[in-house]
């Protein structure tokens, strides 16, 4: 669906990206899901074709493209399958930290590789004992001359296996009161001594997305890999979470649209009691309800995209979209599987994969409960 922000050049870009995915992603996606990983070659091809961080400045190799290009990339990747979220994470969540808070030297060192696909990024916030409560993280970075000594464990890290650069949320001042004032961001290179990866995590869905544990044992990280200033990490995270949550809501919206499309096709072709399932009143009402919710979600998101691009503070509305759209997509998955009958439970039908993949959207990038907490607080409660 084309939002009101779509110009002619955006439509041309969407067509080009779709052609790319029809050749490089759709035919291989089932294999990637079985293998449990998306090959690095796919990232390299994305980079070669200008689909990684096109918004970055031309001096690093980017295209100075606006946010609509990112919306298109995220939507088209989600149409292929939810396991491709690692690309959106790299493009719209991690690399913006490097671009906004990095020094010129850091940007010249990292950004060209982020655009070419040579450097894949991840952000390490969650720990085995701390998820939503960022102030409760226990990973520490202690200054030792011109290095930080980093110790701690991170889990549920998207792009965890492939990542060449990891933005690690850590405490450079564990004694800080309040605790969040001791948080800093350190960029850890894949070859850092003392940095290792745990196992690739076995998830209910998103099978080809490489989610992993990361372990830091006296890892020596050069001081020049500090992102921004010490003690400012929490504020940097708050600054970027609006876009992260918007991207997740956009993907969930597309997932819902795709599930409805699949189900519409199925109910029109499947016969029962001498007529198509789609002609039964129950089916028609269910489809009508879902189509209405999906339309409401799309309208709300289009408005948010416009306001986000205009630089407005839409944290409250993005929090609303993040919880409502992901929740709506979960309901759509459940209804669509039911309308598929027994076939919906078969792996060869795409709805089965979609049903598995969607629930986590209500958990990562801030749970539904955290979103409601933010909304209530911003409403003055």
380, exposed or middle or buried, with CB in 10 Å at 0-12, 13-18, 19+? exposed
Q: Which residues pair with 166 in a beta bridge?
A: 122, 188
- Residue (of 270, 257, 248) closest to 367 by Cα position: 248
Handedness of CA 24, 26, 31, 34 (dihedral sign): positive
Number of other residues whose CB lies within 10 A of the CB of residue 1: 13
> Given 244, 257, 258, 335, which residue is catalytic?
244
Phi, psi of 54 (to 5 degrees): -65, -15
Of 66, 189, 159, 52, the residue nearest 112 (C-alpha): 52
Strand partners, 304: none
How many CB atoms lie under 10 A from the CB of residue 67?
17
**Does the annotation count 289 as an active-site position?**
no
Q: Give CA–CA dist 224/125, Å, rounded.
A: 20
Tokens 């969407």 identify what position?
14
Residues with catalytic roles? 244
């Amino acid at each position: 669906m084309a939002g009101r922000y779509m110009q002619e050049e955006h439509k041309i870009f969407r067509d080009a990206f779709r052609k790319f995915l029809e050749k490089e992603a759709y035919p291989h996606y089932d294999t990637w899901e079985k293998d449990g990983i998306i090959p690095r070659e796919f990232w390299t091809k994305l980079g070669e074709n200008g689909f990684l961080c096109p918004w970055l400045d031309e001096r690093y190799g980017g295209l100075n493209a606006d946010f609509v290009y990112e919306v298109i990339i995220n939507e088209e990747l989600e149409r292929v399958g939810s396991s491709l979220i690692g690309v959106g994470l790299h493009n719209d969540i991690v690399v913006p930290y490097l671009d906004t808070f990095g020094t010129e030297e850091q940007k010249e060192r990292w950004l060209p590789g982020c655009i070419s696909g040579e450097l894949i990024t991840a952000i390490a916030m969650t720990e085995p004992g701390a998820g939503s409560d960022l102030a409760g993280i226990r990973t520490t970075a202690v200054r030792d001359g011109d290095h930080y000594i980093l110790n701690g464990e991170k889990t549920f890290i998207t792009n965890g296996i492939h990542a060449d650069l990891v933005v690690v949320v850590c405490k450079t001042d564990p004694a800080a009161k309040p605790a969040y004032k001791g948080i800093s961001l350190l960029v850890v290179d894949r070859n850092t001594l003392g940095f290792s990866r745990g196992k690739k995590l076995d998830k209910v869905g998103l099978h080809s997305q490489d989610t992993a544990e990361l372990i830091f044992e006296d890892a020596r990280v050069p001081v020049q890999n500090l992102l921004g200033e010490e003690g400012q990490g929490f504020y940097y995270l708050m600054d970027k979470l609006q876009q992260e949550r918007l991207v997740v809501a956009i993907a969930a919206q597309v997932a819902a649209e795709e599930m409805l499309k699949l189900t519409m096709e199925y109910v029109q072709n499947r016969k029962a009691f001498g007529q198509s399932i789609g002609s039964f009143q129950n089916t028609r009402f269910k489809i009508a309800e879902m189509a209405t919710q999906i339309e409401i979600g799309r309208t709300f998101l289009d408005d948010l995209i416009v306001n986000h691009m205009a630089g407005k503070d839409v944290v409250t509305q993005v929090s609303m979209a993040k919880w409502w759209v992901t929740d709506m997509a979960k309901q759509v998955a459940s209804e669509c599987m039911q309308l598929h009958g027994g076939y919906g439970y078969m792996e060869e039908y795409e709805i089965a994969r979609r049903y598995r993949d969607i629930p986590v959207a209500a958990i990562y990038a801030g749970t539904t409960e955290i979103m409601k907490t933010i909304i209530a607080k911003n409403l003055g409660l």
